[in-house]
Structure 1
Amino acid sequence: MKTEKVDNGVLEHWSPEDVKAAFDRNEIVLIDVRTPQEFSLERINGALLAPMQSFEPSHMPSQSEKQIVFHCGSGVRSSKVAVKYLNAGNERIAHMEGGFGAWKKSGLEYTGTDVSTGAPKSMKDSAN
């Protein structure tokens, strides 16, 4: 994990592997900031959806028990949402570097859509 001091706090950049390990240990709340359409096609099982276009920092859960980690498709939107969260008076936040694309490239399991039936399907890219 890398950290970056920004104007209003600390932004943590987590790798997909760091996110997966913390998520498996039930230490984080993973929040997907992509659109509902993107989320419906493929997602990390167990992640919550809070689309960037309607993101409101005050609606986020407290980080007193679990840290929040944002993710999007490539890491760009989640970084912007994280900065917005910090600008709302929060001291630290994390996002997943490379987003969902990096998650898939790392060969981590996710829920996709079976194109023949339209049903959700557990998937894992075998690129690595």
Structure 2
Amino acid sequence: MTVRTVTEPTEEPDRSTVSTGWLAGLGTLFGMGALAASSCCALPVALVGLGATGTVLGGLSLLTNLRPFLLGGGVLALLVAWGLLVRSRATACALHGPCTEPSSRWRTVVLLGSGTLLVGLALVWGPHIEPLLLRAMRG
């Protein structure tokens, strides 16, 4: 006679949330770098006012050369992360009935939102925001 034990299926962690959070962080990091690279005048003046040295300003000039790659990487990472987040939410709702929000999902949404804001700000910084800041510094 054979005895079989019945085990409950273990729930696997939601891998899409993990990858989405990682991509959101990457997009936010790229957004911060792109924003720093977008500022040719106002940010260095503010940093010198705070006591930054030439080494910090040299790092900003390096970021200026990387700006297109930072913006492209940030936009790509954020688009993929938003897509994964929406897809995982739709899949969870279809499989499990009423949708419940995992506790880590709000952190991912906040990170995605801040990354999107930073990348968007980096895109409009040079042509629109920096001239206004420079006029305000002079006046």
Q: Smaller-chain TM-score range? A: under 0.3
- The answer to which structure, 1 or 2, has the higher relative contact order (CA under 8 A, 6+ apart) is 2
TM-score, normalising length: structure 2: 0.25
Asked which structure has the greater CA Rg, the reply is 2
Please identify which structure carries the higher strand content: 1
Higher helix share: 2
